[in-house]
């Protein structure tokens, strides 16, 4: 039997294990990955938060356009009650968020400002509601706005919690990515 035939017959037995982890560890530092600016990287990580904020703003914009010609009126008690309920909930979540260090939360100052309950979008919506107290669409939009904001805050808080858990879990050290 020729040597090459013997080797071909036992080809897989000639294969050794792969390289040690040091090779990838070194390669990882030299990857030709363009470093994106900090704000862009932050946006990439928190894209869904940005998307919700855009949705909130767009939602408010459509409402303003729809109701621009309506007459002024007074705030109905049930709307005031709904506002009070959601405002309290949102403020509680915001307090929780404010208690966390900004760098740990991973949000830039613009996003943090957007999260504040008294932002411009909110004020515009509120003014429109005052001008159109009986309008069901505005009322429904307000509720949707509050719910989205609550959901957003909940997700930020739960993500933060999950992120902190991941940091302290040793098994994650294996995940090189």
- 7 binds other proteins, rule: CB under 8 A: yes
Q: Does 26 bind other proteins (CB under 8 A)?
A: yes
Q: Are 122 and 142 in contact (CB under 8 A)?
A: no
33: Cα within 13 Å, side-chain hemisphere: 9
CA 177, CA 165: separation in Å to the nearest integer?
17
Helix (H, G, I), strand (E, B) or coil at 27: helix
**Phi and psi, residue 142, nearest 5°:** -60, -45
37 near other proteins, judged by CB under 8 A: no
For residues 176 and 28, the answer to whether their CB atoms sit within 8 Å is yes
Residue carrying structure tokens 């900004």? 102
- Size, binding site for other proteins by CB under 8 A: 29
CB of 38 to other proteins, least distance (A): 16
- Which of residues 31 and 168 has its CB atom nearest to other proteins in the complex? 31
Q: Which is nearer to other proteins, 158 or 172 (CB)?
A: 172
Angle at 94 between CA 81 and CA 143, to 5 degrees: 35
Q: Do the beta carbons of residue 148 and residue 52 sit within 8 Å?
A: yes
Q: Which is nearer to other proteins, 12 or 88 (CB)?
A: 12
Residue 15 binds other proteins, judged by CB under 8 A: yes
Q: Is 103 near other proteins (CB under 8 A)?
A: no
Region near other proteins per CB under 8 A, out of 13-21, 75-83, 134-142, 155-163 = 13-21
Q: Any contact of residue 40 with other proteins (CB under 8 A)?
A: no
The reply to whether 174 sits near other proteins by the rule CB under 8 A is no
d(CA 143, CA 28) in angstroms, rounded, equals 47
Min dist CB 32 to other proteins, Å, is 5
Q: Note the residues at the interface with other proteins (CB under 8 A).
A: 1-4, 6-8, 10, 13-20, 22-24, 26-28, 30-34, 176-177
């Amino acid at each position: 039997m020729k040597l090459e035939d013997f080797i071909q017959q036992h080809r897989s037995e000639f294969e050794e294990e792969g390289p040690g982890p040091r090779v990838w560890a070194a390669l990882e530092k030299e990857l030709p990955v363009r470093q994106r600016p900090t704000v862009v990287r932050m946006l990439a990580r928190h894209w869904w938060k940005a998307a919700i904020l855009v949705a909130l703003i767009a939602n408010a914009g459509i409402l303003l356009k729809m109701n621009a010609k309506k007459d002024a009126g007074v705030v109905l008690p049930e709307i005031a009650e709904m506002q009070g309920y959601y405002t309290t909930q949102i403020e509680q979540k915001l307090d929780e968020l404010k208690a966390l260090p900004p760098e740990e939360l991973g949000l830039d100052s613009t996003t943090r400002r957007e999260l504040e309950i008294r932002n411009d979008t909110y004020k515009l919506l509120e003014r429109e509601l005052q001008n159109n107290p009986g309008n069901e669409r505005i009322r429904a939009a307000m509720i949707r706005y509050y719910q989205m904001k609550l959901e957003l805050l909940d997700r930020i808080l739960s993500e933060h919690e999950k992120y902190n858990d991941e940091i302290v879990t040793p098994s994650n050290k294996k995940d090189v990515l």
